[in-house]
C-alpha cells in the first residue's frame, strides 16, 4: 500500500523541492531561513513530487544530516512522519547507521518501534546489521524486543523465528544477540503472540534455527543460560563440527538439572519482564553489585552463604 499525494503536495511542489534541496545539501542556515517563512513552514511535512519518497525530516535522517534534522524538529516537523513505504525518519536513521540522528529522534519522542504499517522495524534492522550501539538505544527507549517481521522468510519458511534474536544469530552478531536476551527477548520463539504461534503448523524455535544455521556454540549456551526450553527443538544431525558441539552441549543440558542459582536468576528476570522492568536491573542500587551483575549475566565472584 502506497500513500497518495495530498492537494497541498500537488500545489506546492516547488517549495517542497526547495526545502528538500536545502536538506540534501546539508545547508542548515538556508533551511532555517526558509522555515521562518509561512509558505515553507506550511509544507514542512509534505513529501513533494512524484518519485519523492518522504518529507524533509525523512531525507535529513536518511542522509545523516544532523544539523538539518535539528532545524526541522525546532520548526515543528512531525517526528513520526512516513515515506511511501511507511518508514519513519527513525527507521531511516537506523538503516543508515547514524547514531547521532537516532539519539536525537528518540530523545525528541520518536516511536522506537517505527510505524506498524511497515513490514520491518528499527529493532529488526539494527539486529540484522549488527549495530549494537543503535540497538541498545532503541531498547533503552522502549522498543519491543520481541518485534517480528511481517514478511515470511522464504529460505526457511519460519515466520515466527524471524524476530531480531533470530536475525542477530544467523548474521553472526553475538553482541546484539546477547543484548536482546538481556532486554528480555523470548529465548524460544522471539515471539509472544500465542495466537500466531498456534496458527503455525510447526513453529521453529530460535535454538532450532541456530542449530540449522550452524551458529557457534556460544549462541546455544546463551539461549540455555537465558532459559530456552532445551526439549523443544527436533535435532537434525548433520556432518558439521559446529553443530556436533552444539548438539553435545544440548544433550548434556537435557541430562542435567539446572543449578539452583540459575533457576533463581531466571525467576527474578521473568518477574521483572512481567512488569516490563528487566531493563532496570542496573538501577537496583539497594542490592549488592555482585547480585546485580549476576542478574545481568556478567562475570562475578558470587559467594553463597
pLDDT tens digit sequence for 283-292: 877 788 888 8
Report how far residue 92's alpha carbon sits from residue 83's, in angstroms, rounded to the nearest whole number. Answer: 10
Cβ pair 31, 22 in contact under 8 A: yes
Cβ pair 122, 113 in contact under 8 A: yes
Question: Would you place residue 305 in the very low, low, confident or very high pLDDT band (cuts 50, 70, 90)?
Answer: very low
CA-nearest of 52, 72, 48 to 60 is 72
Top-ranked range on mean pLDDT: pick from 45-49, 140-144, 283-287:
140-144
Report how far residue 203's alpha carbon sits from residue 216's, in angstroms, rounded to the nearest whole number. Answer: 22
Mean pLDDT of the chain: 84
Per-residue confidence (pLDDT) for residue 106, from 0 to 100: 98
Q: Which of 7-21, 160-174, 249-263 has the lowest mean pLDDT?
A: 7-21
- Give yes or no for residue 238 having a pLDDT over 60: no
Per-residue confidence (pLDDT) for residue 61, from 0 to 100: 96
Per-residue confidence (pLDDT) for residue 234, from 0 to 100: 66
Q: Which of 138-152, 162-176, 214-228, 259-273 has the lowest mean pLDDT?
A: 138-152
258 phi, psi to nearest 5 deg: -70, 150
Per-residue confidence (pLDDT) for residue 160, from 0 to 100: 45
- Give yes or no for residue 157 having a pLDDT over 80: no
Report how far residue 165's alpha carbon sits from residue 186's, in angstroms, rounded to the nearest whole number. Answer: 8
For 227-237, the pLDDT digits (tens) are 998 887 666 55
Per-residue confidence (pLDDT) for residue 2, from 0 to 100: 46
- Give yes or no for residue 23 having a pLDDT over 90: yes
- Give yes or no for residue 53 having a pLDDT over 90: no
Per-residue confidence (pLDDT) for residue 217, from 0 to 100: 92
Neighbouring C-beta atoms of residue 161, cutoff 10 Å: 29
Report how far residue 111's alpha carbon sits from residue 132's, in angstroms, rounded to the nearest whole number. Answer: 19
Cβ pair 2, 47 in contact under 8 A: no
Domains recognised in the chain with CATH numbers = 1-117 (1.25.40.20), 119-255 (1.25.40.20), 257-305 (no CATH)
- Give yes or no for residue 171 having a pLDDT over 90: yes
Q: Which three cell numbers stand for residue 60?
A: 535529513
Contacts of 150 (CB under 8 A, 6+ apart): 119
pLDDT (average), residues 293-303: 74
Report how far residue 55's alpha carbon sits from residue 40's, in angstroms, rounded to the nearest whole number. Answer: 12
Cβ pair 189, 161 in contact under 8 A: yes
Cα 23 to chain centroid distance, Å, stands at 27
Between the CA of residue 147 and those of 52, 161, 194, 202, 236, what are the distances in Å? Answer: 29, 11, 14, 20, 27
Per-residue confidence (pLDDT) for residue 141, from 0 to 100: 94
- Give yes or no for residue 116 having a pLDDT over 90: no
Q: What is the pTM of this model?
A: 0.85
- Give yes or no for residue 108 having a pLDDT over 60: yes
Question: Cα angle vertex 254, ends 253, 260, to 5°?
Answer: 60
- Give yes or no for residue 137 having a pLDDT over 70: yes
Q: What share of the chain is helix, strand, coil (3-state, %, to 5)?
A: 55, 0, 45
Amino acid at each position: 500500500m502506497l500513500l497518495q499525494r495530498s492537494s497541498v503536495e500537488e500545489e506546492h511542489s516547488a517549495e517542497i523541492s526547495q526545502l528538500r534541496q536545502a536538506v540534501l545539501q546539508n545547508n542548515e542556515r538556508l533551511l532555517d531561513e526558509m522555515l521562518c517563512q509561512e509558505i515553507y513552514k506550511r509544507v514542512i511535512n509534505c513529501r513533494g513530487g512524484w518519485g519523492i519518497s518522504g518529507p524533509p525530516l525523512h531525507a535529513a535522517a536518511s542522509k545523516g544530516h544532523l544539523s538539518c534534522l535539528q532545524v526541522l524538529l525546532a520548526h515543528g516537523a512531525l517526528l513520526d512522519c512516513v515515506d511511501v513505504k511507511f518508514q519513519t525518519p527513525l527507521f531511516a536513521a537506523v538503516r543508515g547507521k547514524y547514531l547521532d540522528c537516532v539519539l536525537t529522534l528518540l530523545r525528541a519522542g520518536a516511536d522506537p518501534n517505527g510505524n506498524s504499517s511497515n513490514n520491518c522495524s528499527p529493532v529488526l534492522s539494527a539486529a540484522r546489521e549488527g549495530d549494537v550501539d543503535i540497538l541498545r538505544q532503541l531498547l533503552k527507549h522502549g522498543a519491543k524486543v520481541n518485534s517480528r517481521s511481517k514478511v515470511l522468510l522464504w529460505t526457511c519458511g519460519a515466520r515466527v523465528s524471524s524476530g531480531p534474536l533470530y536475525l542477530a544469530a544467523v548474521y553472526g552478531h553475538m553482541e546484539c544477540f546477547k543484548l536482546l536476551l538481556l532486554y528480555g527477548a523470548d529465548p524460544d520463539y522471539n515471539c509472544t503472540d500465542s495466537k500466531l504461534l498456534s496458527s503455525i503448523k510447526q513453529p521453529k524455535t530460535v535454538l532450532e534455527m541456530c542449530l540449522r544455521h550452524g551458529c557457534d556454540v556460544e549462541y546455544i549456551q546463551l539461549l540455555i543460560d537465558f532459559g530456552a526450553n532445551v526439549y523443544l527443538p527436533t535435532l537434525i544431525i548433520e556432518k558439521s563440527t559446529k553443530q556436533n558441539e552444539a548438539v553435545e552441549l544440548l544433550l548434556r543440558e537435557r541430562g542435567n538439572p539446572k543449578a539452583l542459582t540459575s533457576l533463581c536468576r531466571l525467576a527474578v528476570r521473568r518477574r521483572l519482564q512481567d512488569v516490563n522492568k528487566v531493563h532496570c536491573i542496573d538501577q537496583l542500587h539497594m542490592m549488592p553489585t555482585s547480585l546485580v551483575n549476576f542478574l545481568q549475566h556478567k562475570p562475578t565472584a558470587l559467594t553463597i552463604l
